[in-house]
């Protein structure tokens, strides 16, 4: 091309994704681990000066900063996450962060540190992100979600005709006189619900009222992927 010879290379970098001719992505994971490790070292130095950050702050830094760096373009290199060499690189970095997050001794095993710090192993986290991405695109991912029904978008052609859609009526009430209140009174029990999302944990609460008296209430823990709406 223009009297210039195009050389063949064993490795290229495209959109911050390092690929080799065999598509092993080992070089990409290695560079991502080094970049995340440098950030972690800076955090570790800061914790020594300030008598250490709290475990929850360390976990937040890991989830918000270190994990996204390691999981960049993970859909492309997810097959490499099952290789022993890649898993060793991910484990070496994650163990250091997990020990800081749970304030444990260096002799604590990786699995114990991950449980105490409430972190998911990176190789499993990469596969989880890939599966969720494929499920959102309505792809069947083996039996990952066999035990639950997933909500998926409805095609426009499958929606009911606008003429057959139930029309919801409403009324603007300006005067709350006794006659209006009696006319709009709800017959039967009144049930109020509310949801909460705190530190990644989702909960729901219900309260039932009958004849102006509270007759029951309940609070339940929901799956972490649930929303509060």
pLDDT digits (tens, 9 = 90+) for 51-97: 567 777 888 888 888 888 888 888 888 888 888 888 888 888 888 88
> For the residues 3-18, what does the mean pLDDT come to?
80
> For the residues 167-186, what does the mean pLDDT come to?
79
User: What's residue 150's pLDDT?
Assistant: 67
Rounded distance between C-alpha atoms, residue 179 and residue 34, angstroms: 72
- Identify the burial level of 87 via C-beta atoms within 10 angstroms of its C-beta, where 0-12 means exposed, 13-18 middle and 19 or more buried: middle
User: What's residue 176's pLDDT?
Assistant: 77
> For the residues 85-111, what does the mean pLDDT come to?
86
pLDDT digits (tens, 9 = 90+) for 185-212: 777 788 888 888 887 788 889 898 887 7
The conformation of residue 146, written as its DSSP 8-state character, comes to T
User: What's residue 147's pLDDT?
Assistant: 64
> What's the predicted TM-score (pTM) here?
0.62
Phi then psi dihedrals of residue 18, to 5 deg? -90, 125
Average pLDDT, the chain: 81
Place of tokens 């309260």: 207
Contact in structure between 135 and 150 (CB atoms under 8 Å): yes
User: What's residue 134's pLDDT?
Assistant: 78
> For the residues 106-122, what does the mean pLDDT come to?
87
**Domain residue limits, the chain:** 11-137, 171-221
Q: Name the region of 228 (left: φ>0; alpha: ψ -120 to 50; beta: rest).
A: alpha
**Which is more confidently placed, 137 or 110?**
110
pLDDT digits (tens, 9 = 90+) for 24-36: 888 888 888 888 8
């Amino acid at each position: 091309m223009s009297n210039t010879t195009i050389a063949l290379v064993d490795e290229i970098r495209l959109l911050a994704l390092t690929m080799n001719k065999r598509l092993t992505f080992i070089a990409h994971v290695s560079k991502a681990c080094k970049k995340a490790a440098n950030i972690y070292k800076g955090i570790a130095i800061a914790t020594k000066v300030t008598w250490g950050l709290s475990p929850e702050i360390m976990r937040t830094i890991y989830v918000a900063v270190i994990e996204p760096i390691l999981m960049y373009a993970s859909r492309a290199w997810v097959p490499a996450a099952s290789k022993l060499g890649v898993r060793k690189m991910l484990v070496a970095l994650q163990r250091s962060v997990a020990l800081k997050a749970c304030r444990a001794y260096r002799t604590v095993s990786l699995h114990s540190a991950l449980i105490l710090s409430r972190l998911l192993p990176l190789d499993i986290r990469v596969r989880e992100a890939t599966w969720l991405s494929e499920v959102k695109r309505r792809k069947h991912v083996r039996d990952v979600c066999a035990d639950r029904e997933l909500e998926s978008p409805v095609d426009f052609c499958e929606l009911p005709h606008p003429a057959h859609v139930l029309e919801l009526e409403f009324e603007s009430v300006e005067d709350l006189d006794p006659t209006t209140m009696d006319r709009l009174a709800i017959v039967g029990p009144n049930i109020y619900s509310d949801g909460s999302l705190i530190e990644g944990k989702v909960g729901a609460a219900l309260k039932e009222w009958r004849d102006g008296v509270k007759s029951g209430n309940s609070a339940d823990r929901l799956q972490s992927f649930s929303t509060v709406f």
